[in-house]
Amino acid sequence: MSKPSVLVCRAVFPEVVERLKTWFEVESNPGDRAFTKPELIERLKGKVGAFTTGSVTIDAEVLDANPQLKVVSNMAVGYNNFDVPACTARGVLCTNTPDVLTETTADFGFALMMAAARRIAESEHYLRRGEWSKWSYDMFVGSDIHGATMGILGMGRIGQAIARRGALGFGMKVIYHNRSRLAADVEAQCKASYVDKATLLRESDHLVIVVPYSKESHHAIGAAELALMKPTASLTNVARGGVVDDAALAQALESRQIAAAALDVFEGEPKVHPGLLRVPNVVLTPHIASATVATRRAMADLAADNLIAALGFGPNAGNPPSPINPEVLRA
């Protein structure tokens, strides 16, 4: 009996590909070329499953061209690259990789916030250009982290982990805004207080964005929101591109409406708004918040576990660990 076929859309750890080959005929992409939509549609022909990353869009057009597709397994916690309603309507299961990247992403988000507040990237560029000739009392003075007010927009797993770092490690006052207020015991663990969005923007010394991307959260931070922030404030985005209006942010940074920003995600990435590349008071990284060897391997393993189980194989056959639309399993 022949094995079912799956597509691994981007390069991943070879050991993970080999594990998938235990159960499937695997077409992989070791050259890591990003497929165009027509190429993706063609390569999915005959495949019942796809191992995807956030750069691989699965929408109605892709699904309709491949009605045999049963599972799309994302090696990411975010899944705005999936049209989940379209998948659900066609009986295609979507999965993601939550939890395994929470602490690593929180570490990076906190590091970005510190880098923006203390002007680390800006001062390093100054040094590398050979411009440092003397000490001065106001050279690259920034903002303190300890004792400052950190605001978090989006208080899920990663937001809570960042809150704990600030409150417990740096004695920060933590305020947050979320679609729904956390339980009292969770707030106590994070030492965080719920506020409305306007208060969050007005009172934060350092605003960290961790809200998932959706139509509702598109440009949740735009010109109007930036106008409410302190001129001394920093903004850090480790959520998804599109949650922040990058054009408005670039303008706010250029005019010094806010002091600094740090971004790991961008609208239309890997393209970056040219205004962000021009201003000195922003730290830019290429979507690497989860990028440690251990965490990326854990993400890949979980994505493989989901794909194997969803297609009826392995010790968890029929019960993938992290389905996004579990109603498909019950259909």
Compute the distance between CA of residue 301 and CA of residue 49 in angstroms, rounded to an integer.
15
For 287, other C-beta atoms within 10 Å of its C-beta total 18
Q: Please write the tens of the pLDDT for every residue from 22-42.
A: 999 999 999 999 999 999 999
User: What contacts 73, CB < 8 A, 6 or more positions away?
Assistant: 49, 50, 51, 52, 95, 303, 304, 306, 307, 310, 320
Residue 148: CATH number of its domain? 3.40.50.720
Same domain, 251 and 297: no
Q: What is the pTM of this model?
A: 0.93
Q: Kindly state the DSSP code that residue 219 receives in the 8-state scheme.
A: T
How many domains does the chain fold into? 2
9: domain range?
5-99+293-330
- pLDDT score for 331: 78
Residues annotated as catalytic are: 240, 269, 287
Q: What is the pLDDT of residues 92-127, one digit of tens each?
A: 999 999 999 999 999 999 999 999 999 999 999 999
Question: pLDDT tens, 131-146?
Answer: 999 999 999 999 999 9
pLDDT of 1 above 80: no
Whether 21 and 10 share a structural domain: yes
Write the DSSP symbol of residue 173. E
pLDDT digits (tens, 9 = 90+) for 155-189: 999 999 999 999 999 999 999 999 999 999 999 99
129 in the same domain as 247: yes
Residues 326, 280 within the same domain? no
Does 95 share its domain with 168? no
Is residue 249 domain-shared with residue 143, that is, in the same domain? yes
Same domain membership, residue 108 and residue 93: no
278 and 145, same domain (yes or no): yes
- When the pLDDT of each residue in the chain is averaged and rounded to a whole number, the result is 97
